[in-house]
Structure formats: structure tokens, C-alpha cells
């Protein structure tokens, strides 16, 4: 297929695309129009259609920018395997535009793209671009940050986004100094330190307290904050659950050697999980939202000792789960028969409740 006139150029790299011509025809078109570009495409294994969308990769490759080879050597056609993600292609488009030299190709200052020249991960480029664009880091700071990994830059950027009372907790310079301090005095490396610090700052946001950035131990501050957040969330969950727990007490049932009762509180739920070595504690949110009903089945002569954990569906009261310790099935026939009678009891209680509500 021949073009009567040259088509409008595609101004960005596309992640998935169909071509009306196959790559051999496109490659032949490149050969006729630009033998030098043809040699570059063949020598580097560049997908011809990708070159047509982003011819600037040739210039950048010649200048040995680290991230280019991943795009130059990777197939991008819809029917071929892809090793470049959609996020990476989008980052490429945010960073790069058509041009004849780096100054016109890059959408970032020269000092930034020269300091980042050897970085191979396009996502690291993208994070640095964001920080420079928003004024979070100066162009001079890019030089000492250029050795950061993509993950470290992302954590660094996330920490710079943290504020207290509307003011940033850290500047790029103060954060860098803080990382140096904890590396020296606590032997905490950069990535680990950034992750610990971000977790700590998130905890401060949950509790709405001012971060302590002058402490002599990040690890201690982090662990104390994590404990406080757990306690805060436990109290919040206990309050959310309590109303539902109180409602479910109407279904409590005793017969013969067994009794069944609803979980009475968040602490009661934690105790059941601990005794039974199961994950029922994770059902707290579902109980609070009325998505499940959790009961304990115990022997009358040992009321404090866990025996069976029972879950009922709140819609039709069918048994979702009935298990003894360590999520093992119930093999005690007397207990299974009791659970069947308890289920019928729950249906009767609900029916009575509905009649009373309609009469009222």
C-alpha cells in the first residue's frame, strides 16, 4: 500500500495500536525515505511503526540516554509480546515530544535530563519530572538524587506530599538530611528508611498528631505510632460493632448440653479468634455492616471455652461456616444436630420479630 501524501504524524507513542500496513511495508517506506533511519531501525531491532510514532528515540539513543533502549528493542505491535507497560508508555509521552535535539525533545530542563541521563527506568524519570515541575526539588537537588531507584524516588515524592496543618513536613533538603541521620545513627538504609518514615507519617495523619522529626530513633517512633494506630482502630471498630452485637443477642439459644450465643463485643471476637486459631477477627467490619452473623457454640459446663465458631448468612440464616479449632470441620453429631435446631430457632425469632414490627 502506498500513501498518496504523507499522513499526519502521530505525536505520541501508543501502547496498543493496529496498523493498516504490516511492518515489512512500513520498514520499506522508511528505507526509501531515510536510509539512515532504516539502518537504525534494523540495527536496534526497533518496531518500524513505533519509530514512525516516536522517531526522536533515534537521536536519544545516539546520545546514550539510558531509558531509550527498552523502548527501542521492545516489540510494541498489538499482536506481539509487550515488555513495556502502559504506565511506562504514558510516562514516555509525558517526558518526550517530537523534536530534533534533546532541548526540543525533553519536556524538562536540560540540567535535569543530563543528570538523569544514565537512569534506565522511565518511571524514575517520570517521578523526578513530577517533583521538578511542582517545585518540590530544585534542579540542583536532582544531581544528588539521580542515583535513587524508581521505588526510592516514589517514596521520597510521597513523603514530600505529607503535610501537617497545611504545611509540608519535609523539604527535599531536610528529608535528605534526615535520611543521612538515620543511616548514620540507626544503620537504616535509604529505601527502608523512606518506607518506615512514610508509614510513620501516615499514622500521624490517622491520629492527627504532629510528626516528631527531631527524634533520635525513627524505628522507635514508628513502632509506637503503629501500636497507637492499632489501638485507635480497635476502639473505632469496637464502637461500630457494638450496636450489631447487641441486636444479635436476641438469637441466643440454649438446649441440653450446648448453647449458642452471638458475639457480644469486639474483644469477644478477638478472644474467639485467639482460642480457635482462626481468622474470625477479620470479620469485624462485616459484622458492623450487617453482612454476616457470628455466633459461638459452647458446652454449658464450659461456657468460657471455645468449641465451635458459627457463621450465618443474615439474608436467609443459612449456615455459611461451622468449624472447630484451626478451621477443622465439625464431626460431633450431637453438636451438628444442635446447630440445625439453633438455625430453625433463628428463623422463628426473625419471623416473630417481623410480625411484631408489622403489628406495631
Encode pLDDT of 197-241 as tens digits: 999 999 999 999 999 999 889 999 999 999 999 889 899 999 999
Supply the DSSP symbol for 282: G
DSSP per-residue codes, 76-99: -STTS---S-HHHHHHHHHHB---
pLDDT score of 6: 47
Contact 132, 109 (CB under 8 A): yes
pLDDT at 181: 94
Contacts of 19 by beta carbon, 8 Å cutoff, 6+ apart: 26, 49, 77
Mean pLDDT of the chain: 88
Report percent pLDDT > 90 for the chain. 64
Least confident of 5-14, 154-163, 288-297: 5-14
Range 330-345 burial, b when 16+ CB lie within 10 A, else e: beeeebeebbeebbeb
pLDDT, tens digit, 9 for 90 and up, residues 76-117 = 444 444 456 788 889 999 999 988 899 999 999 999 999 999
> How many C-beta neighbours within 10 Å does residue 82 have?
15
Helix (H) or strand (E) holding 358: helix 333-359
pLDDT digits (tens, 9 = 90+) for 112-146: 999 999 999 999 999 999 999 999 998 889 999 98
pLDDT tens-place string over residues 230-281: 889 899 999 999 999 999 999 999 999 999 999 999 999 999 999 999 889 8
Residues 242, 353, 253: CA angle, nearest 5 degrees: 65
Angle subtended at Cα 234 by Cα 231 and Cα 240, rounded to the nearest 5 degrees: 145
Predicted confidence band at 25 (pLDDT cuts at 50, 70, 90)? confident
- Provide the pairing of β-strand 293-299 with 258-262: antiparallel
Q: Are 88 and 95 in contact (CB under 8 A)?
A: no
Encode pLDDT of 156-209 as tens digits: 999 999 999 999 999 999 999 999 999 999 999 999 999 999 999 999 999 999
> What local confidence, expressed as pLDDT, does residue 359 receive?
65
151 burial level (CB within 10 Å; 0-12, 13-18, 19+): middle
Q: How far is CA 138 from CA 61, 135, 156, 174, in A?
A: 27, 7, 14, 13
How many other β-carbons are positioned within 10 Å of the β-carbon of residue 44?
15
Greater model confidence, 290 or 35: 290
Please give the domain boundaries of the chain with CATH numbers for all domains: 1-107 (no CATH), 113-216 (no CATH), 240-359 (3.40.630)
* End-to-end CA gap in the chain: 81
- DSSP 8-state class, residue 10: P
* pLDDT given for residue 156 in this prediction: 97
Grid-cell match 515489512, residue found: 24
Q: What are the φ and ψ backbone dihedral angles of 311, each rounded to 5 degrees? A: -120, 130
- Per-residue pLDDT band at 288 (split at 50, 70, 90): very high
Predicted pLDDT at 15: 57
| pLDDT on residue 125 | 95
Grid coordinates 518540590 are at which residue?
136
CA distance 262 to 309: 10
Which pLDDT value is given to residue 44?
77
Residue 20's pLDDT is 54
pTM of the predicted protein model: 0.68
Mean pLDDT of 277-286: 90
Amino acid at each position: 500500500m502506498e500513501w498518496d501524501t504523507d499522513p499526519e504524524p502521530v505525536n505520541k507513542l501508543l501502547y496498543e495500536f493496529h496498523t493498516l500496513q504490516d511492518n515489512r511495508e512500513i520498514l520499506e517506506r522508511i528505507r526509501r525515505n531515510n536510509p539512515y533511519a532504516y539502518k537504525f531501525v534494523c540495527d536496534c531491532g526497533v518496531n518500524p511503526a513505533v519509530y514512525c510514532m516516536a522517531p526522536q528515540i533515534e537521536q536519544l539513543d545516539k546520545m546514550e540516554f539510558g531509558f531509550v533502549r527498552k523502548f527501542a528493542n521492545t516489540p510494541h505491535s498489538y499482536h506481539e509480546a509487550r515488555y513495556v507497560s502502559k504506565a511506562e508508555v504514558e510516562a514516555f509521552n509525558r517526558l518526550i515530544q517530537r523534536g530534533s535535539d534533546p532541548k526540543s525533545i525533553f519536556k524538562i530542563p536540560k540540567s535535569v535530563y543530563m543528570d538523569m541521563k544514565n537512569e534506565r527506568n522511565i518511571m524514575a524519570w517520570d517521578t523526578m519530572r513530577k517533583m521538578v515541575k511542582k517545585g518540590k526539588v530544585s534542579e540542583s537537588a536532582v544531581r544528588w538524587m539521580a542515583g535513587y531507584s524508581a521505588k526510592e524516588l516514589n517514596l521520597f515524592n510521597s513523603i514530600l506530599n505529607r503535610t501537617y496543618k497545611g504545611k509540608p513536613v519535609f523539604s527535599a533538603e531536610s528529608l535528605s538530611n534526615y535520611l543521612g541521620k538515620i543511616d548514620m545513627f540507626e544503620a537504616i538504609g535509604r529505601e527502608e528508611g523512606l518506607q518506615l518514615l512514610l508509614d510513620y507519617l501516615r499514622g500521624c495523619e490517622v491520629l492527627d498528631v504532629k510528626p516528631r522529626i527531631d527524634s533520635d530513633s525513627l524505628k522507635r517512633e514508628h513502632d509506637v505510632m503503629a501500636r497507637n494506630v492499632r489501638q485507635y482502630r480497635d476502639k473505632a471498630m469496637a464502637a461500630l460493632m457494638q450496636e450489631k452485637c447487641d441486636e444479635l443477642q436476641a438469637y441466643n439459644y440454649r438446649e441440653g448440653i450446648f448453647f449458642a450465643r452471638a458475639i457480644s463485643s469486639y474483644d469477644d471476637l478477638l478472644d474467639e479468634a485467639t482460642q480457635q486459631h482462626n481468622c474470625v477477627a477479620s470479620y469485624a467490619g462485616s459484622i458492623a455492616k450487617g453482612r454476616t452473623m457470628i455466633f459461638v457454640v459452647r458446652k454449658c459446663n464450659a461456657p468460657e471455652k471455645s468449641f465451635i465458631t458459627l457463621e450465618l448468612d443474615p439474608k436467609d440464616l443459612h449456615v455459611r461456616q461451622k468449624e472447630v479449632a484451626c478451621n477443622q470441620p465439625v464431626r460431633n453429631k450431637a453438636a451438628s444436630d444442635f446447630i440445625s435446631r439453633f438455625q430453625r430457632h433463628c428463623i422463628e425469632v426473625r419471623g416473630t420479630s417481623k410480625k411484631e414490627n408489622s403489628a406495631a
